[in-house]
Amino acid sequence: MRTHSSLERSRVNGPGSRAVIWLQGCSLNCPGCWNPLSHSIEGGMEVEIASAVEWVADLHASGLIDGLTISGGEPMEQARALLALLQALRLLLPEISIGLFSGYTERELASGAFLSRDANPPSSQADLWRAIRQHLDFAVLGRFNGNRPSQQPLVSSQNQALLLLSDRHSYSDFSPLSVEFTINSQGITQITGFPILQ
Can you say whether the dihedral through the CA atoms of 188, 35, 158, 20 is positive or negative? Answer: negative
Residue 57 dihedral angles phi and psi, to the nearest 5°: -60, -40
Whole-model pTM? 0.91
Residue positions counted in the chain: 198
99: in domain = yes
9: in domain = yes
Q: CA 94 to CA 171: how far, in whole Å?
A: 21
pLDDT bin (cut points 50, 70, 90) of residue 182 is confident
Element (H, E) at 9: strand 2-10
> What's the whole-number mean pLDDT along residues 147-166?
92
> What's the whole-number mean pLDDT along residues 179-194?
69
Q: Answer yes or no: is pLDDT of 60 > 70.
A: yes
What is the domain range of residue 27?
2-193
> What's the whole-number mean pLDDT along residues 28-38?
87
Give pLDDT tens digits for 61-73: 999 999 999 999 9
Q: Answer yes or no: is pLDDT of 21 > 50.
A: yes
**192 burial type by CB count under 10 A (0-12 exposed, 13-18 middle, 19+ buried):** buried
**DSSP conformational letter for 134:** T
Give pLDDT tens digits for 72-107: 999 999 999 999 999 999 999 999 999 999 999 999
Q: Which distant-in-sequence residues (6+ apart) come within 8 Å of 87 by Cβ?
A: 135
> What's the whole-number mean pLDDT along residues 109-130?
86
Q: CA 14 to CA 10: how far, in whole Å?
A: 8
Q: Answer yes or no: is pLDDT of 194 > 80.
A: no
71: in domain = yes
State how many domains the chain has.
1
115 compared with 68, residue with greater pLDDT: 68
What's the confidence (pLDDT) of residue 178? Answer: 75
- Whether the CB-CB separation of 198 and 177 falls below 8 Å is answered with no
> Of the given ranges (10-19, 36-45, 132-141, 187-196), which has the lowest mean pLDDT?
187-196
198: in domain = no
Q: CA 140 to CA 118: how far, in whole Å?
A: 22
Average pLDDT, the chain: 91
Percentage of residues of the chain with pLDDT beyond 70: 91
Q: Which residues of 145-174 are buried (b: 16+ CB within 10 A; e: fewer)?
A: beeeebebbbbbbeebebeebeebbeeeeb
